Copies of this chain bind each other. A is one copy, B any other.
Amino acid sequence: MSGSENLGTWVDGVRCDSVPADDRGLAYGDGLFETLLVREGRPRFLFDHLARLTAGCTRLRIPLVTVREMRADIDAAVALAPSLAVLKILVTRGSAVRRGYAPGGAETPRPIISLWKAAPLPSRPDGVKLVLASLRVADQPALAGIKHLNRLENVLAARQAQEAGAFEALILGTDDRLVSGAMSNLFIVKSGEIRTPFVDRAGVAGVMRGIVLRECAALGLTACEEHLTLEDLFAADGVFITNARLGVVPVGRVGEHAFPMNEVASRLAAHIETLDA
């Protein structure tokens, strides 16, 4: 890929650049993935990512690829990492054992581990710009929260952001509630308290989102999940987005609305940077 060089891929425990064509991940998006930042040879928050992957496998009833099995590939990938890299861990239900949507039950889950060169993030003192996605993300409680491979809604919203020259697209769900960004979770700061939308009907429970919610206490901050609307957003004292690759990123604008830079976001970003996960 231009702009992001592949440094190695492991499929079913073997270094290899291709996947059997009968994989159910390709056929139906029947699988899950994680994207981690690898810094100075250390995959950041690896156990949080593996915990979410496990939760996703449980939800989809994909027999769990044991951490031990994948761990050898992950270690092999990380051993090749330059000072900054991105590690992708993808698990599919495996090759189909019968035709059609229903799993046969005897599939062997397929881990696909890949390592990518990453560039340091540019400094953005005024925060990033978000555009409001024209697409509403659909409510699907059966799939909400987990990072499965059915990501066309994210693809469509991310393309809109790209075409608008924005860093990210902000996605609403039904009932006009805020859900997340296309590739990130959303947080607002109001009167010193931190709030993020629920992800039980749509959206992904981002690992960095979980870390922010968890680490707020260490900074004496209050954080909670809440039903949030655009009205709440525009009344916020500060807004930031999070993902595993980017960490905590302050938002300077959503469409034409400007937000002040808020010290809560920068305190959180600095604190999380120092965590040795």
Contacts and interface: CB of A to CB of B under 8 A. Distances in A.
Interface of A: 1-4, 6, 9, 11, 16-30, 33, 60-61, 86, 90, 92, 95-104, 112, 114, 116, 135, 138-140, 142-143, 148-159, 161-162, 174, 182-183
A99 B149 contact: no
A242 to B, nearest CB: 16
A4 B18 CA distance: 23
B3 A162 contact: no
A28 B2 CA distance: 19
Contact of A101 (B20, B143, B158): B158
B21 A158 contact: no
Given A90-B27, A149-B27, A149-B28, A183 B100 contact: yes
Contact of A4 (B9, B90, B99): B99
Contacts of A28: 29, 149-152, 154-155
A90 B3 CA distance: 28
A28 B95 CA distance: 17
Nearest to A4: B99
Contacts of A150: 28-29, 150-152
A142 B135 contact: yes
A89 to B, nearest CB: 12
A204 B181 CA distance: 27
Contact of A9 (B21, B86, B100): B21
Contacts of A183: 100-101
Nearest to A202: B138
